[in-house]
Structure 1
Amino acid sequence: MAVDERFTQDYRDGQGEEPEGVRSEVVTGPVSDWASDFSHLEPEWAADPYPIQDDLRQRCPIAHTDRFGGGWLPTRHEDVTAIAYDTERFSSRAIVMSNYRPPLDLAPVGGVPPISSDPPFHRDARRLLLPAFTKSAVAKREAATRAYCHELIDALEGRRDVDAAREYAQHIPVRVIADMLGFPPEDGPRFRTFIEHSLEGVNLPPDERMAHMSELFDYLLEQIRDHLDHPRDDLTTYLIDAELYGQKLQPQHVSGTMALLLIAGIDTTWSAIGASLWHLAKTPADRERLVAEPELLPTAMEEFLRAYAPVTMARLVKQDMHWRGADMKADDWVLLSFPAANRDPAHFDRPDEVVIDREVNRHVAFGLGIHRCVGSHLARMELRVALEVWLERIPEFTLADPAAVTWAAGQVRGPRTLPLRIGRA
């Protein structure tokens, strides 16, 4: 097949070039007061954000910061919900809070559609992805996912000390997403580098961030060209061939959606698996009960998602306004903390306790409104299978060193290192 003329080197327009809207100020450093100077990039937030969120919810439910060029942090379930559903006053054209705001002309598509898209374009861009993420489509991937989980545990055979984040949790979504997109599975280490740069490198100088984004989109162009030459039955070929409004997708739409699936589809699930194993390692009663009652796992899994929701999403204020006591300015950031909403005592009974048989659990770990995670069925399958296989193969495990557990900073929180001791303590 001839190379599609859409996918020439300018496919990165609006992605990898030096953008307008860059603000080069440093955004990290000690926080003076979380109500007026918050930063979700600080070590204490990464280690344990929940006491900070609880304190803010009581004394200042919508915190403010001058960092990142100005931003807001609602901590009540009702405020997070209201903003998530309000597409008239809050834009999704950027969803990672940083020192860069994409130019307005990127709307309504955004850089990584459909999560960065505003209505009405969002609805149609999202519909393109739905067939790949239905329950029936996801079910076809379960056997391969389960077999791969067993492979990973086979590699741990005979060892007492393992890092469950680096040697187990992170590899599962890497393999699943690589298979969906038709990418070489051996490129997994590159995927992890892309994720780190995209989600944890928001305080880097703008030219470094742009260089990292160029690396990501150069890689995606390589994959697109390979698929043009060798079409196959995967999501990349589907996006290349897909049509919207009677035309093939724009190159930025194809590459942006691929970037979204590669980054968001891996880090969120990796974090959820790791956080669940962390909880079970430090809570022997829950671990022993799930080993004895494996049928309880789907319910317990929802509770892990509630209590350790990995994702916080950003919005941009569309115009100056007074919103529930906050004087918001156009292009101020708003961090939608789904983890904070999931621990609001006004919405959940015993919110800070992990109740693995919690029957009523309308958590918002997968978001709210039009941008609710399109891959929730896939994430649930990966999490369930990962935990089923681990508990079946390794029923006894504890934290080898609680102080050695490290957590990702930024908008996706999960264990980056998780040293476990296999067997009886």
Structure 2
Amino acid sequence: MTDVATDYDIFDPGYVVEPYPVWAALRQRCPVAHTDRWGGSWLPTRYDDVVAFARDVEHFSSESVTVTPAIEGVPGIPADIKAPPITSDPPEHHWARRLILPVFAPQAVARYEPYTRELCASLAAEIAARGAGDGAAQYAQYIPVRVISKMLGVDESMADDFTGWIRGALEFGLTDPKAQEAAFLSIFNFLTAEIATRQAAIAAGTAGDDIISYLLQQTVDGEPVLVDHVLGTCVLILVAGIDTTWSSIGSAIWHLATHPEDRRRLVADPSLVPVAVEELLRAYSPVTMARLATSDVEFAGCPISKGDRILMSFPAANRDPEQFEDPDTVIIDREVNRHVAFGVGIHRCAGSNLARMELRIAVEEWLKAIPECALAEDDETTWAGGQVRGPRHLPIVITGGAAK
């Protein structure tokens, strides 16, 4: 049996399904673990350490945010393409982030709330009518992919393609370079064509109000935003805006199905849902983000070398007993909840308003349509792990009758 303090593997099936005991053990004996797997990385597990890494932009770059090296030399993908602002360091990061904040501001996100609610209500009603369904594949995974499609102004019929590409890029692709290359190539080709279409519409004076059109019409220091920057930002919005959110929604549905006391309390008092959403985000945070050391530096007694990767486990930070009372228990009305599910520091998730809205409405509409449910008896729940954790198959059965 390997020692997780010196040989952890974030892709290990056991770790993917149940990482919490690993984090708890590491906090006690080796709060910043190390492994040589996947090119080598460091894994902080304490809240304060994760926050410190995230805020230290002097020594740790966002140039590479995955545990495995970025793909390079793929025909059709620009060699210097990035995914700003998540892969940007100061000073570029500042203007790259300012560029997208308006489209994710609360008032901008509110535009998509009626659509999101109608979509969630329809999906939940279909599962309720059948008496069973997959809470991940037939519910959670449908929601953000369609909301993001609408925001980008692309045909919703692309949703299934997006789902396959995103899983190829961030799930299967992290351990299968060929799958990742194929997925990203499909994403780049699609978005490149969409950008060309928007450019033609702008030139003709018929620009739409979608995110792509918005970005193409912005300037920085009086100069138009480069098309490659727009392309990279759209890749980020498509990939990061979907995988993370459907993972959070799927985890929330899993919790509702496995914790009847919480589910029934929320059914009886829907006003608790916004607070419960924050607790579900804390307890089932999906994202572990990587940083790249830009110089030799010592951290918490660990000799980190230039080029080393650091995996900022926001999920582990959110289970730290030094920060959260009874951290492994979901307390749906938890009052003190300074979780870092959306990260912390300059790279805190710019799309957090959108993610919160989608998760809140997904929970509300699920509970309206399906107040009583449970995991299917054979419980074939499967989880994706690595750097984005969430259920991918979640067989649910309706119990006690669906809502009328």
Same fold (TM over 0.5): yes
Aligned to 2:204: none
Q: SS at the partner of 1:141? A: helix
Q: How does 1:9-408 map to 2 (within 5 A)?
A: 32-100=2-70, 111-200=82-171, 201-205=173-177, 208-230=179-201, 231-401=207-377, 403-408=379-384
Distance 1:54 1:268, change over 3 A: same
Amino acid at match of 2:265: R
Amino acid in structure 1 at the alignment position of 2:186: E
Q: Secondary structure at the match of 2:292?
A: strand
Q: Counterpart of 1:356 in 2: which secondary structure?
A: coil
Give the partner amino acid of 1:93: E
Computed over aligned residues only, the root mean square deviation of the Cα atoms, in angstroms, reads 1.7
Whole-Å separation in 2 of the counterparts to 1:292 and 1:314:
40
Residue aligned with 2:66, SS:
coil
Which residue does 1:26 correspond to in 2?
none
Q: CA deviation at 1:211?
A: 3.5
Contact 1:94 1:110 in 2 (8 A): no
Is the Cα–Cα contact under 8 Å of residues 306 and 342 in structure 1 kept in the other structure? yes
Q: 1:375 Cα deviation (Å)?
A: 0.7
- C-alpha displacement of 1:245: 2.2
TM-score normalised over the length of structure 2: 0.93
Tell me the CA shift for residue 339 of structure 1.
0.4
Distance in 2 (CA, whole Å) between partners of 1:110 and 1:58 is 40
For residues 53-111 of structure 1, give each alpha carbon's deviation from its aligned partner in whole angstroms, at most 9, with x where no partner exists: 111111110110112222100000111010100000000011111144879xxxxx971
Contact kept, 8 Å, 2:314 with 2:341, in 1: the verdict is: yes
**Alpha-carbon distance, 1:268 to partner:** 1.0
Shift of 1:153: 2.4
Moved more, 148-157 or 290-299: 148-157
Runs of 4+ in 1 over 6 A off after TM superposition: none
Distance 1:173 1:210 in 2: 23
CA distance in 1, matches of 2:260, 2:378: 14
Query: 2-side partners of 1:303 and 1:340: how far apart?
Result: 14
- Residue aligned with 2:303, SS: strand
Q: TM-score, normalised by structure 1?
A: 0.88
Partners of 1:180 and 1:257 in 2: CA distance: 13
Q: What's the counterpart of residue 106 of structure 1?
A: none
Q: Which moved more, 1:84-93 or 1:42-51?
A: 42-51
1:116 partner SS: coil
CA offset at residue 36 of structure 1?
0.8
- Tell me, which stretches of 5 or more residues in structure 2 are unaligned? 74-79, 202-206
Q: State the shift of 1:169 in Å.
A: 0.8
Preserved CA contact (<8 Å) 2:169 2:181: no
Corresponding residue number in structure 2 for 1:5: none
Aligned length: 389
Q: Distance in 1 between matches of 2:334 and 2:180?
A: 42
Q: Structure 1 pair 211/282, CA: closer, same or farther in 2 (3 Å)? A: closer
| Structure 2 counterpart of 1:215, one-letter code | S
SS at match of 1:162: strand
Check conservation: 1:57, 1:76, Cα contact below 8 A: yes
CA deviation digits over 1:116-168, x for unaligned, max 9? 00011101110011111111111121111111112212333531220011111
Deviations 1:245-277 (A, max 9, x none): 222222221111001000110111101111011
